[in-house]
Amino acid sequence: MNTWPPVEPSCSEEPATREPSRLKIAAREIIQLVLVVLLVRLAMDTLLPRYVVDGASMEPTLSTNERVIVDRLSLLLGGPARGDVVVLDSPRQDELLIKRVIGLPGETVTLRGGRVYIDGELLEEPYVQEFCTYPSCDGTWELGPDEYFVLGDNRSHSLDSHTFGPVPRSAIKGIARLRYWPPDDVSLFTAPHY
């Protein structure tokens, strides 16, 4: 059946596609940049936190107000090595300490006349300028399978394992890898070869 006039198929007019304004594009880019910066900062704070040294217990290696970056990722891949400088929870107070790992799990650590012996062998420590010679510094500790013995480099002025004993691995927060402040003293930390 034919109808007059012919019926045109209906169609709707497509709205003209609009390009986003330059202002909207710039705003989107700024928001994306801010999100990326926040994510990078969060990742750095989680895996590479920064700490300020407070006290003389690690002199001459570290002094008050120096700043270090600590590596947490290495602890996920393995334990700290002998000689690593670590940040740890104090077993006695609600504070963080920075000390050097001296004894490893399963070892026997002896302090005699201020000198350290690991399983009966003298440990040469070039980073110590003054050994602790007080009778209270001497003793012997047998470390468990998950324990570390930590000492400050300034042995006579350090609250460390000679006072509170071995620390569990769970107390160690990370390994100091870089001193970044003051700018004149920027340096990487590496464990000494014994």
Rounded Cα gap, residues 126 and 71, in angstroms: 24
The yes-or-no answer on residue 99 being catalytic is yes
Ramachandran assignment for 57, one of left (phi > 0), alpha (psi -120 to 50 degrees), beta (any other): alpha
Catalytic residue among 99, 136, 158, 161: 99
Task: Judge residue 4's burial from the number of C-beta atoms within 10 Å of its C-beta, 0-12 exposed, 13-18 middle, 19 or more buried.
Answer: exposed
Q: Which residues pair with 155 in a beta bridge?
A: none
Catalytic residue among 10, 12, 24, 57: 57
- Using DSSP bridges, classify how beta strands 167-168 and 147-151 pair: parallel, antiparallel or unpaired: antiparallel
Q: Could you tell me if 164 and 152 are in contact, meaning their C-beta atoms sit under 8 angstroms apart?
A: no
DSSP assignment of 111-175, as one string?
EETTEEEETTEEPP-TT-SS---SGGG-EEEE--TTEEEEE-SSGGG--SHHHH--EEGGGEEEE
Chain-centre distance for alpha carbon 83: 15
- Catalytic residues, by residue number, are 57, 99
